[in-house]
Structure formats: C-alpha cells, structure tokens
Amino acid sequence: MKIDERCVGCGQCTAFCPKNAIIVKGIARITTDCIQCKICMAYCPMKAIEESA
C-alpha cells in the first residue's frame, strides 16, 4: 500500500488496520507488517491510500 501527500495524519486508517501496520505521526507510514488486505483504503477521509503497483 502507498500513502500519498493528501494524508493529513488523522490516524483513522491505523485504528481499522487488522495488522496494526500503520504508524501515524503527522503523516501515516505503512510498515512491513502490512498484508495488503486494503481495508484501510475505505476508511481514509482524504483518499490518500493507494494500492502500490
């Protein structure tokens, strides 16, 4: 998964990630624990999460 510059750092994705794979501090960062389940995408109010190519 990829997070783009639209991210405001609201942490909504962190709370819904089943793997606790998103660290947020001003901006969100996805860790290697990510299993590409895509759940976080739907919860982002800024549409800042994309699938990585």
Q: Does 35 bind other proteins (CB under 8 A)?
A: no
Task: Establish if 24 lies at the interface with other proteins (CB under 8 A).
Answer: yes
Strand intervals (E) in 1-53: 2-3, 22-24, 28-30, 49-50
Question: Is-contact 47 35, C-beta < 8 A?
Answer: no
State both tokens at 46: 């800024």
Q: Which residues bind other proteins (CB under 8 A)?
A: 8-12, 14-16, 24-27, 42-43, 45-46
Q: Which residues bind ligand SF4 (CB under 6 A)?
A: 1, 3, 7-13, 17, 19, 21-22, 24, 28, 30, 34-40, 43-44, 46, 48-49
